[in-house]
A and B are shown apart, each in its own frame.
Chain A
Amino acid sequence: MAMLRNIAGGLKSLFRRREDGRELGREVESFLEISAREKMKAGMSRADAMRAARMEIGSADVVKEEVRAWGWEARVETVWQDLRYALRCFRNAPTFAATVVLTIGLALGLNTVLFAAFNAYVLAPFSVQDPHSLYRVWWNTKSTIGRGMSWNEFQRFREGNPAFSDVVAIQRANVRVRNDMLMGELVSGNYFSMLGVPAELGRTLVPSDAEVAGSNAVIVLSHDCWKAKFGQDRSVIGRRIPLDGHPFEIVGVARRGFGGIANLPRDFWAPMTMSNQLLDGPDLFGPTHPHPLELTGRLHPGLSPDRGRAALLVFSKQLTADRSAQDKVISVGFRSNATSFPLTADAVAVFAPAFVAFGLVLLLACTNVANMMLARTLARQREIGVRLALGAARTRLVRQLLTEGLVLALGSAGFGFAMAWLSANFGMRAFFAIIPPEFAKQGRVAAISLDWRVFLYMLIAACVSAVGFALAPALQATRGDLISATRGEFAGRQRAGRLRNSLITAQVAICVMLLICSGILLRAGRRVEATDVGLDVRNVLDIDVREGFRPNVISALSSDPAVESIDAVWRAPLYGDLRGISVATENSSSFVTAGYNFVSREHFDVFRITLTNGRNFTEDEDRAEAPVVIVSGSTAHKFWPGSNAIGQTLRIQPPPLDSRPDKIPQYEAVRVIGVARDVVNHSVLLGPDPTCIYFPTNANATFIPKLLVRVRGNIELARRSIQKLLDEHAPGAANQITPMEEVLEIQYLPFRLFAWISEALGGLALILTLAGIYGVISYLTAQRWREIGIRLALGASSRAVVRLVLSQSIRLTCLGLAIGTLIAFGVMRLVSAKIVLLASFDLRVYGLSIAVVLLAAALAGAIPARHASRFDPMSILRHE
């Protein structure tokens, strides 16, 4: 009640500010009048009485100000006044305002994009009902960490578990639709009902869709997929599309904004019971009981995650009590499924370096603007001095100057937001444009939306930067003593200089640090791309063939004149996984792990890998998967240094039962028949494989999912003709046809991306520093024009003047360079502990970065210095 009255009264007085002021004036006037009259009654003259009355109340204006300043409305009014004043100031100095908005806006925009990405993956919860009660659960057994569930286990889990009100099972399924890829999921029938996601169009999946194995070839599309691949055509409902050659009926489109609850958005959802039609591998409902299912459940309301996890552990142990020791559950994995990635120390650690680098650019922009503000407020010293002399409180002035900063920051935030929006949209397109096309088809990224979290972050960042660039100058400018301030002289000249100097030093330090770090990243990227992978990937296509189709595919391929040779492999190179197996030489008892692969005899021809010694596999050896191997040069050197590897024997230890990869050599000892040149099978980051053993295989053997084909002529034409051929003779056989060149490109991509981003940041930092130094030195030179004029008049040469001005900027720059280089060195030492590639101390990068910054500083100082040397001493002295 009292508060309401206060608010109402305040509002009333806010709207009748002028009337209230006038009335107060009258009241004070009448107060004085009556007081004087009383004193006259006591015998004073009128003049004396008036004076006495005034003496009693002090300054009438102060009284009025005191009354005005009371109440919350007064504060609102002050803010409003400050705002108007600030806007008026900027109308008078539009270039200044525009420069600030541009500088800070750019840096804020950059930071916002980064935060938006962080938000999209880590902070923004999935668009489902009550996302924070969703938890993913998995099992850890003695043999497998992160084991999924089998279909049966899922059923028992759903019925009997004590922690979840409902559980869904999910399995990834990437399928080919004509020439395109769709990335989707097979889900249990309760998926949409548990998540509470309705259909935008048609219907979602219902439990009866996923009851009988092999039934209900229906899919629900995501809204994004419907938009991107079907042009938001409403007639898609009821249409049949071939997924890997199997016709599926589109029954609905999920609600806009829903892309599933996995790390990346999905295109479609199909019933789990269609698993055997869409996925290779053992029958999900068959006797082998494979366990690939991922489970996510909704925690009972009121149950804490810790208690839920404990209850699930007890339940899971009971469920597996009768199994072998290897298969018993020893612990359960449990994590929130509210966002793509849980907000953990790891997630923060991944983003932290980027946040630091982007934050530094913002800091740089802030120091620049702080310098400009400082120069401006010092130029306004006289105005500020007059206001102080008229009785303005220092806090009031600081508040005024801060308000100016805030107005600028909010303007910048607006500009930055527009920048962020643009880069979130176009940046994504640009990103997909640089990804090799076959991978772009599969590329999915979480939609980066600028939601309230991003907006809040932006606002906070803007306010912090406003304080950053406006507070120090404001405190500085209002510090002075009254007398010199009203004369327009520098208050605390020494201190202002010190602040400005440390700002420049900081700028140079940040700039050189960013340049060094980006230089090192860049060089590392170059080194990686220059590494010879030892494989001739040009004109090689990687064809992912589904099991059972291989004879058809091979006969079709053999009839194509464009096909030069066909290589059947277990694991295609450059996909980043070379499996290991324990081997030992004949005379040694110690087994060591070596990389291995199964390839057919054409492999060495397809990739142009020369055999430095011995011979290739024969056709018979391939067919029989005979106990002979070809080893890489390094492997030969490692096991038989100094002697001939050909004819030697390698003993093989079978891997432990449960960690078995799908294809392992079935013999205890093999004979080496050839030595091949070293190549990179694994990843360019790690360089040529330290060890690699090739076992023979053929296209009809088990677990040979890949055919690598060397083609003649234009690879794109060949790819299309092969695609056409396969569509005719073996429809649905190949998931994907990828040029191996693109596979290699993908390995370079992270380096290129990092290099581009760090180059952009470094460049921006350099420009900001250049502008900052230029601004400050020319300002300082302008301040010292009298001194310089006198020096010139006394006979100083123009060269001496240039030296005088330049030495100032160079001195500060050198200090900054030293600090920045040291920090960069420290940072790189820390980082290289984790990333070996960045380990080498690159003197050229350090030297070049320092030289560039030094040159920029000299340039930035040279222009004002030349300007100063051309001062006309006569006119300066006359002015004096």
Chain B
Amino acid sequence: MGENPSSDVVQGTLDMLILKTLEIEPMHGYGISVRIEQMSRNVFRVNAGSLFVAFKRLQREGLIKGEWQTSENNRQAKYYSLTARGRKQLEREAKSWHRQAAAIAEILKA
């Protein structure tokens, strides 16, 4: 990953990253994409299409919900927030991710 500074989000982890971003406060779509890029120190780039599809998917699963609100500069934007189920799901996925990542790291070390 060193040679290629930005890459698409690893398949299947985008949902988890979105949940993680929303852990602290509700955010709108653009905010989420910027936050993911920032948090990953610009390693991950989020494709807008995938992002909106992920929103639809997460909403369908009842993990997040969206609401139209007025943004800081008086613009209407759809803000997403975690539901109780979403919070639980994030915990579960984070835990299993850590376990797997640790296991993979062990294997690579050996």
Please list the residues of chain A having a beta carbon within 8 angstroms of any beta carbon in chain B: 2, 5-6, 9-10, 23-24, 26-28, 30-31, 33-35, 37-38, 56-58, 62-63, 66-67, 70-71
Contacts and interface: CB of A to CB of B under 8 A. Distances in A.
Contact of B62 (A5, A26, A70, A71): A5
Contacts of B53: 66-67, 70
Contacts of B57: 70
Given A67-B56, A70-B53, A70-B56, A31 B61 contact: no
Nearest to B53: A70
Chain B binding surface SS class: helix
A31 B30 contact: yes
B73 A37 contact: yes
Interface stretch (B8-16, B17-25, B74-82): B74-82
B49 A66 contact: yes
27 contacts: A5-B62, A6-B60, A9-B59, A24-B52, A26-B76, A26-B78, A27-B78, A30-B29, A31-B28, A31-B48, A34-B71, A35-B30, A37-B73, A37-B75, A38-B30, A38-B34, A57-B48, A62-B49, A63-B48, A63-B49, A66-B49, A66-B52, A66-B53, A67-B52, A67-B53, A67-B56, A70-B57
Nearest to B77: A30
A67 B49 contact: yes
Contacts of A30: 28-30, 75-78
A27 B62 CA distance: 19
Interface in B31-62: 31, 34, 48-50, 52-53, 56-57, 59-62
B52 A28 contact: yes
Nearest to B29: A31
A75 to B, nearest CB: 15
Contacts of A6: 60-61
Nearest to A35: B30
A534 to B, nearest CB: 86
A27 B30 contact: no
B52 A63 contact: yes
Contacts of A35: 30
Nearest to A57: B48
Nearest to B62: A5
Nearest to B31: A34
Contacts of A70: 53, 56-57
Chain A binding surface SS class: helix
Contacts of A33: 75
A38 B77 CA distance: 14
Contacts of A27: 29, 52, 78
A31 B29 CA distance: 6
Given A30-B30, A66-B50, 14 more contacts: A2-B61, A5-B62, A6-B60, A9-B60, A23-B78, A26-B76, A27-B29, A27-B52, A31-B28, A31-B30, A34-B31, A56-B48, A70-B53, A71-B56
A27 B48 CA distance: 11
Contacts of A23: 78
Contacts of A57: 48-49
A31 B49 CA distance: 12
A58 B78 CA distance: 20
Nearest to A70: B53
Contacts of B28: 30-31, 34
A5 B77 contact: no
A528 to B, nearest CB: 73
A71 B48 contact: no
A24 B51 CA distance: 12
Nearest to A59: B49
A30 B48 CA distance: 13
B60 A34 contact: no
A2 B52 CA distance: 20
Contact of A34 (B30, B48, B50): B30
Contacts of B77: 30, 34
A23 B30 CA distance: 16
A27 B32 CA distance: 13
Contacts of B62: 5
A128 B40 CA distance: 72
A572 B31 CA distance: 101
Nearest to A63: B49
A5 B49 CA distance: 23
A668 B35 CA distance: 115
A24 B56 CA distance: 10
Nearest to A6: B60
A786 B59 CA distance: 60
A34 B56 contact: no
Nearest to B52: A67
Contacts of A10: 60
Contacts of B29: 27, 30-31
A24 B28 CA distance: 13
B52 A58 contact: no
Nearest to A24: B52
A30 B30 CA distance: 9
B5 to A, nearest CB: 16
A27 B51 CA distance: 12
A165 B24 CA distance: 73
Minimum-distance CB pairs A-B, first 8 = A57-B48, A66-B49, A34-B30, A9-B60, A63-B49, A67-B52, A30-B77, A70-B53
A35 B29 CA distance: 10
A5 B30 contact: no
A70 B52 CA distance: 10
Nearest to B50: A66
A27 B28 CA distance: 9
Contacts of B61: 2, 5-6
A57 B76 CA distance: 19
Contacts of A2: 61
A732 B56 CA distance: 86
Contacts of A56: 48
A202 to B, nearest CB: 62
A58 B52 CA distance: 13
Contacts of B78: 23, 26-27, 30
A2 B50 CA distance: 21
A228 B76 CA distance: 79
B89 to A, nearest CB: 11
A67 B42 CA distance: 25
A9 B61 CA distance: 9
Most chain B Cβ neighbours within 10 Å, of A23, A26, A57:
A57
B65 to A, nearest CB: 12
Nearest to A10: B60
A5 B57 CA distance: 11
A318 to B, nearest CB: 68
A63 B48 CA distance: 7
A10 B78 CA distance: 21
A37 B28 CA distance: 14
Contacts of B49: 57-58, 62-63, 66-67
B76 A5 contact: no
A62 B60 CA distance: 21
B28 to A, nearest CB: 7
A31 B71 CA distance: 12
A31 B79 CA distance: 11
